Amino acid sequence: MISKLCSNRSVSRYVRAAALATLWGFTIVPTCLAGDAPGWMHALVSAPLPAHDEKTDAVLLLHDEIVNVQSPDKIKTVVREAYKILRPSGREYGDVIVSFHQQQKVNGLHGWCIPAQGKDYEVKDKDAVEVSLPKVEGSELVSDVKSKFLRIPAADPGNIVGYEYELEEQPYALQDVWYIQKVIPVRESHYRLVLPPGWEFKATWLNLPESKPLQSGNEWQWSVSDIKAALPEEEMPPWQTVAGQMAISFIPSGGAAGKSFSNWQQMGSWYADLTQGRHEPSPEIKQKVASLTGANTLTLAKMQAIATFVQKEIRYVAIELGIGGWQPHTAKDVFSWRYGDCKDKATLLSAMLQEIGIGSFYVVIHAKRGAVTLDTQPRVGVFNHAIVAIRLPDGLKDESLRAVVNHPTLGRLLFFDPTNELTPLGEIGGYLQDNLGLLVTPGGGELVKLPRQASETNSILRTAKLKLAPDGTLSGDFDEIRMGDRAADQRAMLRSVTKDTDRIKPIEQLLSHSISKFQITHASLGNLQHTAQPFEYHYSIVAPGYAKTAGDLLLVRPRVVGIKSSAVLETQEPRQFPVVFEGPAKDSDTFEIAVPTGYEVDDLPPPVNADYPFASYHSKTEFTGGTLRYTRTYELKEFSVPLNRIEDLKKFYRIVNGDERNTAVLRPIAN
């Protein structure tokens, strides 16, 4: 559903390689030779380790990077790294992977191991395996990104492993990122920059205090030490926005031009040049637009017909070679091939809308909200997706058009992702809401915030009419109406399902989290293919032993299905990062349980009212006319919870958890 703007040219050079080896299906057996490790590694043997705890797998003793910008068309980078392995699970740091594309060449990849006892080991460039990235769902079909994979022997606890290589590059853009902070502690890290005479640079620090460089002529060197680990957490912001790093642009003498840009306006101009002339409609496109829209008199209906065609009839297939990682194919080619990646689909949509007099603009964005912030330095690698901003005609207003912002000069802009087959024109998924994207216009680029939609547009409305038997068996019917991402997620799971028995698996999973034993006696779906309509589930169950007996009492949990609490914060370690939600949502449940004849209520759970700026939860249990009635609403109001409100979020989840476990007590009516 979510595609890429381009091949990931900013892939970390230090990817965990063991998992990739499994994907590629090979085993690396390096030629282990006795060979002295270089002096820079031996100098680290007695070096004190950075602060760490007993769970730390390894520490990075040294990262050293020398970037030599020789011209706008040539950069050479030398990288050295050395790790000390502390635990068996740290052996993965002996696996080295260096990613590159057709404009890059990897030279002189070497690795060494200094054992705690015995002679050094060495592996050379000839021991490395060159591979292409594996094809996985949502990735490129054809890409020029490859990798060199080298396994350093004896990466055992107590040993030091290290490697070095040179990367020679003809850059598409004059930019780089020094990734300083890791998931393990860092003892010291250095970045040295060599520029041609007259060149300048612009450096931006994120999540670390700025370190001033030492300058010698046309060389600058930055150094940092004792950097604590940034341990991954569940529901955390994107890594690139929380890890310490320095982004840097190289500016030729005479100012930024062509491959260099220091602001979003310049980057937008760079991308506008790449897309120039790409969305010109061909005669075939003109004919198709006429066919799609001829029966419609309303502009919105015409737009919807075009959007649906691009969403569903143009397959997502990415062929990204060279500059094709960023430059879209022409609308003519995309229409003829009936496939393309996200920027290709955006291009074709723009061409088709143009035929009915509707203007639009590219928006390059990251498919994970929060990956780009107002502090992000403009650079190519920060975006991985492309959508469109459609310029709505004056007077075109409809309640279905929710993803709209009022631009001060361009008017009302409707944001739309033609790659997302499951979200109709007028809406955007939670991953795009409140996200920052680069709006590309003929005048350049502008970082804009996409709209947020009301929580009610992303919802589950669940109702049930149930009956409780004296032996504790619960039976009855459930109806669910899902909207927004709540609907898109279910459609995504079910769109490739062909067997009726598999269509109820999401229902089975939902029920299994709340009911220990049950049988689904009936199940059906509604509006599976009609994405502009709410998605529906209808199912009936029998759950033996749902109510528990205690003497002559029956203990019944009014909250039958659906879990809104979370244990994400129930950890011993203090939270490092904010908690991020998929997006605002508002869900409601109403469960009516007819109690057995001859029983009355002895005790009911208390009502719950929890209101916080980021979320609210309200529940109530009543007993009237022989029926136990439980109602609740759960609303996420914000996209994230900052660290200073984490304790409130933990308290909120505990309140919800308590309510979800509460029981009503039924007793026999006294004669």
User: Is residue 436 domain-shared with residue 474, that is, in the same domain?
Assistant: no
Give the count of domains, the chain.
Answer: 3
Q: Which residues contact 457 (CB under 8 A, 6 or more apart)?
A: 402, 427, 483, 484
Last residue of a domain, one of 201, 229, 251: 251
User: Is residue 319 domain-shared with residue 227, that is, in the same domain?
Assistant: no
Q: Across-strand partners of 412?
A: 406
Sign of the C-alpha dihedral, residues 655, 660, 664, 665? negative
- Does an H or E element contain 509, and which? helix 505-512
Residue 2 lies in a domain: no
User: Is residue 416 domain-shared with residue 467, that is, in the same domain?
Assistant: no
Q: Burial, 71: exposed, middle or buried (Cβ in 10 Å; 0-12, 13-18, 19+)?
A: exposed
Structure tokens at 144: 């020029």
Q: Which residues contact 216 (CB under 8 A, 6 or more apart)?
A: none
Residue 507 lies in a domain: yes
What CATH number does the domain containing 512 carry? 2.60.120.1130
User: Is residue 301 domain-shared with residue 191, that is, in the same domain?
Assistant: no
- CA-wise closest residue to 439 among 273, 309, 268, 217: 268
What CATH number does the domain containing 184 carry? 2.60.40.3140
Q: Which amino acid is at 622?
A: E
User: Is residue 366 domain-shared with residue 467, that is, in the same domain?
Assistant: no
User: Is residue 590 domain-shared with residue 633, that is, in the same domain?
Assistant: yes
Instruction: Give the dihedral of Cα atoms 358, 363, 366, 371; nearest 10 deg.
Output: -130
User: Is residue 436 domain-shared with residue 556, that is, in the same domain?
Assistant: no
Domain of 433, in residue numbers: 264-453
How far apart CA 42 and CA 103 sit, in angstroms, is 34
Residue 1 lies in a domain: no
pLDDT (tens digit per residue) in 230-245: 999 999 999 888 999 9
Q: Across-strand partners of 219?
A: 194, 216
Q: Are 317 and 341 in contact (CB under 8 A)?
A: yes
pLDDT at residue 207 in the model:
92
pLDDT (tens digit per residue) in 636-657: 999 999 999 999 999 999 999 9
User: Is residue 417 domain-shared with residue 496, that is, in the same domain?
Assistant: no
Last residue of a domain, one of 453, 477, 512: 453
User: Is residue 219 domain-shared with residue 243, that is, in the same domain?
Assistant: yes
pLDDT at residue 256 in the model:
55
Q: Burial, 500: exposed, middle or buried (Cβ in 10 Å; 0-12, 13-18, 19+)?
A: exposed
Count of residues in the chain:
671
Last residue of a domain, one of 453, 476, 494: 453
User: Is residue 314 domain-shared with residue 219, that is, in the same domain?
Assistant: no
Residue 35 lies in a domain: yes
User: Is residue 246 domain-shared with residue 327, that is, in the same domain?
Assistant: no
Residue 258 lies in a domain: no
Residue 22 lies in a domain: yes
User: Is residue 470 domain-shared with residue 517, that is, in the same domain?
Assistant: yes
Residue 8 lies in a domain: no
pTM: 0.88
pLDDT at residue 131 in the model:
76
Residue 122 lies in a domain: yes
What CATH number does the domain containing 338 carry? 3.10.620.30
pLDDT (tens digit per residue) in 74-84: 999 999 999 99
Q: Which positions of the chain have pLDDT values less than 50?
A: 1-29, 135-142
